[in-house]
Structure 1
């Protein structure tokens, strides 16, 4: 017995730990939302490209577009133009769109539209970068100024991260004579980035310029320059003006390198303006969309990967153990008497179609009429199988009659009575009649009311939308339920109703 108890405890522990672990992995690692109402941001970005085309030459305009290989995934990408050919190519880690036309003239307007969201899961592997670079050639006073700046930088840094931060800090000190010499009167962010790159190259520290867009709705945006360097494990991002480390979560990397965002052959005065707005979408639906647009396989092994009609069936099926758990608690802990364990759950499933109030009325009417027929058949001294057959046929006729009259009276809900499990109703009538004969009408009514109450409570619990979503999305919680059911299987204590029954004896003993 002791070995059996230990075995049961180990089994329960394994099931509970497994259920909790799988659910926690889905929530924290895969990022699956806990509630159905959870939403995620959906960003719409429009880039308006304007330029003046020459009437004599063919036109080719190129623009960098986001590589989308970091934290974002594209749901839709559109290149809107009139009489232009469009192609997209990858160049040095960037994506570049090319619009081309043979004959256009005057002011031209092109549009690039992108709909994106945060990447849920999948391949977030980091692209590795160089950890060494050759020095940029520099001579004369610039070389002396650079060496003078590098000396204190080396002294006040311990690794690549602190070396870059200290370099940015020194270059932004515009009162330093060496910085003034290297900037040559141009304190723009782009020129500061060039000086920073020069100093880092002398120390053989690689650096890349990255251009980002800030995801803020309804505000004008311009590309924002950041610097990044690979330390052997991770990319380190730095603001060239402040030395702030770490790319903010609302920045979308647009392109990398020194080239301008837009170049035009056969035209002049290119200009790009951005407009951004965001909306919200149901998190699960958005996760399914991102799964379709990536190789993430985010929901491949979840119930959301099933066909829609099958999903609706499983939404009902996964709630059956919840209903069984309710009946188990009512019977084993409270002591409520019902016609078996599964009969109330099946009746509760029928209530999903008829709705609770109408379902209770139908169940009561059909069961009462069936008991009357069963009482009459008892006088005919029929065997059990013919008797059940007659009752079943009577139930079918009664259901058809109720459906017909409901339809004539305009009560369409009455049509759903056909979904009541006829066999269950037949067996309920039979078992109630036997209970009536063996233990009296009072006990039979008590059991019938208990069954109806248990079915009603099970229906109410099984119909909680938040619970349906949670169990369907995280079916591993059913393992936790199994563990609880196993634990209740060894319960041998008093039920609540028994404590009330034996209250007098307890007072007598005291």
Structure 2
């Protein structure tokens, strides 16, 4: 008789476990769902305050606002502008907040607030087509000085990044030569640096960054230098030449000619206030969740009532895994195959101590009443039906008694499956008659032991978090159960039978 190969079976198990893990990792990376239940993430609330004096005429205020700044993800934007119309408009390649009003006079204050979260995977907006360097014209003797300084910087560089660093070193030197001193005499340093880089065929621009410090007010933007290296925009500190954007700096303005434009007002000023908060990471993931990709398969798309139901149902595979392990590998005897899982679910609802008290009380009273029913020689269907009714009376009595005594312990028993309890009482009663009270105690204690173990696993916050937010992990649970289903060796509880052989061998 040929033996069927197990290779396809084990290959299928491998695919189940691998696909479950890969899908969970992809969900974590794509949707930002954390692995831990209580993980917190920082959120920055940044408020831009605009002050100006209106001149008793129509007013239009346009403020440059962040557009997917590198290192951050924008969660929400809102404005506080009583009496003003507000909208966010897209002008060329930048976003602007725009306020308008038919007529205003005197001091005016407008607010724009943005909520953002640090996101190291965010690289900002990449240009759709490579930018071209701005055409720059120089007059003598500045033209000769620019060529000489750029030539010196080019000798020690090979890339746009290295040329930028060398140029900053030359312009920021403590002992500048005559050419450098000539260029810096009547020129703004940042504007000069940007023009020289564009003259060297390197697209360059000035960006404004905001340093994030908790509970700070009246903060101003700081200038940064950005160059295009052929692939993306790179940020530099124009004073030190250090490449890269600090983690506590958000680029507020990148590709905009002006920070703020005010028509119908004067003496405009922009200042910033900020506040750092921490919120649950799963809350942020839900807010950023889309209906595309793995987000389409998320349980958060369901109504709240159905989500609550699935939170409990998705814990059952963990209980089944625990029951399979304890019965197949350890060899614990239980009353019924998956009765411990149902008991564990009830324990999750009631908490452990009240649930144990309620379960033991109901089963003990039920066994006493079942003993009386056996003397009536009823048919099986009638006996089970009678037990169901009696169990309902028992639970109702415990609930009333608990309420009168000021305890909720009696009321929690209603979470137990009534029909399963009645059938368990019937099975234990038959077992008592056939194998004696000792076997009833063994199986009853085993059922409670397995139920408690399953409860300890299912009641963990991490277990509920992972099973609900990463439902594909149930493929891993399924694979493990199938693997244990192939186990035909000795159970750990059976090893004690061979202990006398070990002693005799010695």
Name the TM-score, length of structure 1 as normaliser: 0.90
C-alpha separation between the residues in 2 aligned to 1:318 and 1:214? Answer: 44
Query: What SS does the corresponding residue of 2:297 show, helix, strand or coil?
Result: coil
Q: 2:31 touches 2:295 (CA, 8 Å); kept in 1?
A: no
**2:368 aligned with 1:372:** yes
Aligned to 1:304: 300
Cα-Cα RMSD: 2.6
Distance 1:225 1:3, change over 3 A: farther
Aligned to 2:242: 244
Aligned to 2:328: 332
Aligned to 2:459: 463
Aligned to 1:204: 201
Query: What SS does the corresponding residue of 2:219 show, helix, strand or coil?
Result: coil
Aligned to 1:44: 45
Q: 2:40 touches 2:281 (CA, 8 Å); kept in 1?
A: yes
**2:184 aligned with 1:183:** yes
Which consecutive unaligned segments of at least 5 residues does structure 1 have? Answer: none
C-alpha separation between the residues in 2 aligned to 1:342 and 1:115? Answer: 49
Which consecutive unaligned segments of at least 5 residues does structure 2 have? Answer: none
**2:432 aligned with 1:436:** yes
Q: 1:122 touches 1:297 (CA, 8 Å); kept in 2?
A: no
C-alpha separation between the residues in 2 aligned to 1:154 and 1:9? Answer: 62
Shift of 1:28: 4.4
Aligned to 1:67: 67
C-alpha separation between the residues in 2 aligned to 1:267 and 1:391? Answer: 85
Query: What SS does the corresponding residue of 2:107 show, helix, strand or coil?
Result: strand
Distance 1:124 1:106, change over 3 A: closer
Aligned to 2:80: 80
C-alpha separation between the residues in 2 aligned to 1:200 and 1:83? Answer: 45
Aligned to 1:109: 109
C-alpha separation between the residues in 2 aligned to 1:419 and 1:154? Answer: 78
Query: What SS does the corresponding residue of 1:270 show, helix, strand or coil?
Result: strand
C-alpha separation between the residues in 1 aligned to 2:26 and 2:102? Answer: 55
Aligned to 1:273: 271
Shift of 1:125: 6.1
Q: 2:68 touches 2:125 (CA, 8 Å); kept in 1?
A: no
Aligned to 2:90: 90
Alignment of 1:336-485 (within 5 A): 336-485=332-481
Query: What SS does the corresponding residue of 2:51 show, helix, strand or coil?
Result: strand
Deviates more, 1:469-478 or 1:328-337: 469-478
Shift of 1:299: 4.0
Q: 1:135 touches 1:203 (CA, 8 Å); kept in 2?
A: no
C-alpha separation between the residues in 1 aligned to 2:320 and 2:214? Answer: 49
Deviates more, 1:358-367 or 1:251-260: 251-260
How many residues of Structure 1 are paired with residues of Structure 2 in the alignment?
A: 503
C-alpha separation between the residues in 2 aligned to 1:280 and 1:299? Answer: 24
Distance 1:125 1:500, change over 3 A: farther
Distance 1:359 1:61, change over 3 A: closer
Deviates more, 1:228-237 or 1:260-269: 260-269
Name the TM-score, length of structure 2 as normaliser: 0.91
Q: 1:39 touches 1:280 (CA, 8 Å); kept in 2?
A: yes
C-alpha separation between the residues in 1 aligned to 2:367 and 2:420? Answer: 14
